[in-house]
Amino acid sequence: MEEPITILRIFDFDETIAHTESETRVKAPDGSMATLRDQKEFEEYMNAAAAKERINAFDAVDSLIEAGYQIDLSDFSIVKEPEEITIVTDIMKEFPPDSKTYIITARRGRSLGPIMDYLDEIGVDSSRVRPIATQGESKGDVIATMLSQKILPNGKSNITKIEYFEDSVKNIEDVLEKVCNNPDLNDVKPAEFELIIKQVTHNGHAYIFNDIEC
């Protein structure tokens, strides 16, 4: 039997589908406090703290909490003052018949309900979107697993195309490494396989795409 799904559409949430006013508040074991206003500040702080504590993990948050850091991520359990990024959501609203649509967010905890409610608010049918929260872990690992999940009788994945919408350089580099440069996937990738990354950036006036391919 033919497997009709050939395209995976994967969307990040924060700063890809919507800009939000989420902040992270941190208190370090030495008593110092910080408010991290965006993803760049978040990654810089966590990278520096991880280096200081000699933590070597894809995502250092859990290890830093164990080391005594108080990290308040509660803004990410809601969708705080969202501003829709329409260059992305205009595409998201069209569901090609041979595709499956996912949200993969690095958010933790019970964050998926508010995200799905927000999709319905902006006119994206959330019942056609499968949400996954990686809790900070590697999106590249999740996507690589998706690619090898359904193998056709010819030994190749049913997926010939992945479209990935994301703003984070860290996540994009991880996905390029795990999906494009992963020898374990060479045998299952169909000859015509393509990964198209639409990196969402803001040029000071508007959101634009920066296209990256395998």
Residue ranges that bind Mg ion, judged by CB under 5 A: 12, 14-16, 167-168
Amino acid in the structure at residue 7: I
DSSP state letters, 92-103? HT---TTEEEEE
> Cβ of residue 181: shortest distance to Mg ion, in angstroms?
22
> Cβ of residue 164: shortest distance to Mg ion, in angstroms?
12
Residue 30: count of CB within 10 angstroms of its CB: 8
The residue (of 89 and 157) whose beta carbon lies closer to Mg ion is 89
Place of tokens 């995200």: 115
> Cβ of residue 37: shortest distance to Mg ion, in angstroms?
14
Q: How much is the CA Rg of the chain, to the nearest whole Å?
A: 18
The residue (of 46 and 188) whose beta carbon lies closer to Mg ion is 46
> Cβ of residue 39: shortest distance to Mg ion, in angstroms?
6
Amino acid in the structure at residue 59: D
Contact of 75 with 81, CB cutoff 8 Å? no
The residue (of 106 and 179) whose beta carbon lies closer to Mg ion is 106
The residue (of 126 and 168) whose beta carbon lies closer to Mg ion is 168
